[in-house]
Amino acid sequence: MAFQDPSHSSVCGSLFGGPDLGPKFFCIAANNAATAGSSTGLGTASGSSGPAALAGGPRHPAALGGGPGGGATAPQQHNKLANETPSPADMEPDRPIGYGAFGVVWSVTDPRDGKRVALKKMPNVFQNLVSCKRVFRELKMLCFFKHDNVLSALDILQPPQIDCFEEIYVITELMQSDLHKVIVSPQPLSTDHIKVFLYQILRGLKYLHSAGILHRDIKPGNLLVNSNCVLKICDFGLARVEELDESRHMTQEVVTQYYRAPEILTGSRHYSSAIDVWSVGCIFAELLGRRILFQAQSPIQQLDLITDLLGTPPLSAMLSACEGARAHILRGPHKPPSLSVLYMLSDGATHEAVHLLCRMLVFDPCKRISGRDALSHPYLDEGRLRYHTCMCRCCFTVASGRVYTRDFEPVASGRFDDQYEKTLTSVWQVKELIHRFITEHQQGKRVPLCINPQSAAFKTFIRSTAWHSSKVSKKEER
Ligand SMILES: [Zn+2]
pLDDT digits (tens, 9 = 90+) for 299-323: 999 999 999 999 999 999 998 999 9
Beta bridge partners of 106: 96, 119
pTM of the model: 0.79
Sequence-distant (≥ 6) Cβ neighbours of residue 65 within 8 angstroms: 94, 108, 451, 452, 453, 455, 457, 458, 461
Residue 389 Cα to ligand 1 middle (Å): 7
Rounded to whole angstroms, the Cα distance separating 322 from 65 reads: 50
449-451 vs 62-64, strand pairing mode: parallel
Q: What is the 3-state secondary structure (H, E, C) of the chain?
A: CCCCCCCCCHHHHCCCCCCCCCCCCCCCCHHHHHHCCCCCCHHHCCCCCHHHHHCCCCCCCEEECCCCCCCCCCHHHHHHHHHCCCCHHHCCCCEEEEEECCEEEEEEECCCCCCEEEEEEECCCCCCHHHHHHHHHHHHHHHHCCCCCECCEEEECCCCCHHHCCCEEEEEECCCEEHHHHHHCCCCCCHHHHHHHHHHHHHHHHHHHHCCEECCCCCHHHEEECCCCCEEECCCCCCEECCCCCCCCCCCCCCCHHHCCHHHHCCCCCCCCHHHHHHHHHHHHHHHHCCCCCCCCCHHHHHHHHHHHHCCCCHHHHCCCCHHHHHHHHHCCCCCCCHHHHHHCCCCCCHHHHHHHHHHCCCCCCCCCCHHHHCCCHHHHHHHHHHHHHCCCCCEEECCEEECCCCCCCCCCCCCCCHHHHHCCCHHHHHHHHHHHHHHHHCCCCCCEEECCCCHHHHHHHHHHHHHHHHHHHHHHC
Residue 155 Cα to ligand 1 middle (Å): 25
Closest by CA position to 143, among listed 439, 423, 419: 439
**Terminal alpha carbon distance of the chain:** 51
Residue 1 Cα to ligand 1 middle (Å): 20
Q: What is the pLDDT of residue 102?
A: 53
Domains of the chain: 26-49+83-175+424-477 (3.30.200.20), 177-403 (1.10.510.10)
Q: Is 120 annotated as a binding residue?
A: yes
Residue 201 Cα to ligand 1 middle (Å): 15
pLDDT along the chain (478 residues), means of 10: 32 30 22 28 27 28 39 31 39 63 76 88 87 93 97 92 90 93 94 98 98 97 94 94 88 90 95 97 98 96 97 93 94 94 97 98 97 98 97 96 97 95 93 94 78 74 59 40
Query: Which residue type sits at 316?
Result: S
Closest by CA position to 387, among listed 364, 401, 404: 404
Beta bridge partners of 77: none
Active site (catalytic) residues: 217
Residue 409 Cα to ligand 1 middle (Å): 9
Residue 390 Cα to ligand 1 middle (Å): 8
Q: What is the pLDDT of residue 114?
A: 86
Rounded to whole angstroms, the Cα distance separating 297 from 308 reads: 15
Rounded to whole angstroms, the Cα distance separating 301 from 311 reads: 14
Long-range CB contacts (< 8 A, 24+ apart) of 130-134? 131/476, 132/424, 132/427, 132/430, 132/431, 132/434, 133/421, 133/424, 133/430, 134/102, 134/237
Closest by CA position to 233, among listed 242, 246, 224: 224
CB 360 within 8 A of CB 368: yes
Rounded to whole angstroms, the Cα distance separating 451 from 454 reads: 9
Q: Residue 173: phi, psi to the nearest 5? A: -60, 145
Q: Cβ of 156: how many Cβ atoms within 10 Å?
A: 22
Q: What is the pLDDT of residue 96?
A: 67
Residue 417 Cα to ligand 1 middle (Å): 28
CB 345 within 8 A of CB 309: no
Residue 449 Cα to ligand 1 middle (Å): 32
Closest by CA position to 360, among listed 295, 291, 269, 294: 294
Digit-coded pLDDT (tens) for 80-113: 323 334 444 345 667 767 655 556 788 888 888 8
